[in-house]
């Protein structure tokens, strides 16, 4: 499935090189979350990978009530792992607080899984 021109405006054509540590995140403000740290096993271009994913898994691309195209980003990342493009790393997050409060909390990557 080819990406629409509107989708292409929001998707990188930059190659992500083998050996890169890639941190996935979603959302904004209070909805912001990290979805894991991955090692790139094979170089890839996000737009090309998404086109292949939507061709292979057409049910992954849906339309919301306003006619906007949507997908489950975490399923795409899992697909990349299954294609042996990525390998997930176990990590520990050190949260240092906000607004100057004194905080140092640890959270393992397994704590953020769905």
CA dist 74 and 88 (Å) reads 12
Mean pLDDT of the chain: 89
Reply yes or no on whether the pLDDT at 85 is more than 60. Answer: yes
Q: Average pLDDT, stretch 68-90?
A: 93
Domain boundaries, the chain: 5-112
Q: Average pLDDT, stretch 61-65?
A: 89
pTM of the model: 0.81
CA dist 114 and 104 (Å) reads 24
Cα-based angle 28, 29, 31 (whole degrees, multiple of 5) = 65
CA dist 48 and 28 (Å) reads 25
Residue given tokens 């990590």 in the structure block: 91
**How far, rounded to the nearest angstrom, does the alpha carbon of residue 53 sit from its chain's CA centroid?**
13
Reply yes or no on whether the pLDDT at 111 is more than 80. Answer: no
């Amino acid at each position: 499935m080819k990406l629409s021109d509107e989708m292409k405006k929001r998707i990188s054509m930059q190659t992500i090189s083998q050996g890169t540590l890639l941190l996935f995140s979603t959302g904004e403000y209070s909805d912001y979350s990290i979805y894991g740290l991955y090692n790139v096993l094979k170089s890839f271009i996000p737009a090309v990978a998404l086109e292949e994913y939507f061709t292979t898994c057409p049910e992954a691309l849906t339309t919301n009530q306003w006619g906007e195209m949507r997908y489950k980003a975490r399923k795409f990342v899992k697909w990349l792992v299954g294609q042996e493009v990525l390998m997930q790393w176990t990590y520990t997050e050190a949260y240092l607080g906000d607004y100057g409060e004194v905080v140092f909390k640890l959270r393992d990557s397994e704590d953020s899984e769905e």
